[in-house]
A and B are shown apart, each in its own frame.
Chain A
Amino acid sequence: AQKITQTQPGMFVQEKEAVTLDCTYDTSDQSYGLFWYKQPSSGEMIFLIYQGSYDEQNATEGRYSLNFQKARKSANLVISASQLGDSAMYFCAMRVWSNDYKLSFGAGTTVTVRA
Chain B
Amino acid sequence: NAGVTQTPKFQVLKTGQSMTLQCAQDMNHNSMYWYRQDPGMGLRLIYYSASEGTTDKGEVPNGYNVSRLNKREFSLRLESAAPSQTSVYFCASTSRRDTGELFFGEGSRLTVL
A101 to B103, CA, bound (A): 12
Q: Which residues of A sit under 8 angstroms from B50, Cβ to Cβ? A: 100-101
Q: A95-B100, A100-B48, A102-B33 are in contact. Are A45 and B94 (CB under 8 A)?
A: no
Instruction: Judge whether A45 and B90 touch: CB under 8 Å.
Output: yes
Distance in Å: Cβ of A73 to nearest Cβ of chain B: 18
Stretch at the interface among B19-27, B35-43, B65-73, B76-84: B35-43
Map CB proximity to B onto A28-66 as digits: 1 under 8 Å, 0 otherwise. Answer: 000001010000000111010010100000000000000
Question: Which of these, A44, A47, A105, A107, contacts B106 with CB under 8 Å?
Answer: A44
Chain B, residue nearest A46 (CB): B104
A67 to B42, CA, bound (A): 21
Instruction: Judge whether A102 and B48 touch: CB under 8 Å.
Output: yes
Give the interface size bracket for A toward B. 20 to 34
A71 to B100, CA, bound (A): 24
Map CB proximity to A onto B45-59 as digits: 1 under 8 Å, 0 otherwise. Answer: 100101000001010
A102 to B93, CA, bound (A): 10
Q: How many residues of B contact A (CB 8 A)?
A: 26
A13 close to chain B: CB less than 8 A: no
Instruction: Judge whether B106 and A91 touch: CB under 8 Å.
Output: no
Q: What residues make up the interface of A, taking CB atoms closer than 8 Å to B?
A: 4, 6, 9, 33, 35, 43-45, 47, 50, 52, 91, 93, 95, 100-108
Interface centre among A4, A6, A50 (most CB of B within 10 A): A50
Instruction: Judge whether A45 and B45 touch: CB under 8 Å.
Output: no
Q: Which residues of A sit under 8 angstroms from B41, Cβ to Cβ? A: 107
Other than A45-B92, A47-B101, A101-B100, give 15 A-B pairs with Cβ distance below 8 A.
A45-B90, A45-B104, A47-B103, A50-B99, A50-B101, A93-B43, A101-B50, A101-B94, A101-B102, A102-B33, A103-B33, A103-B102, A106-B42, A107-B41, A108-B42
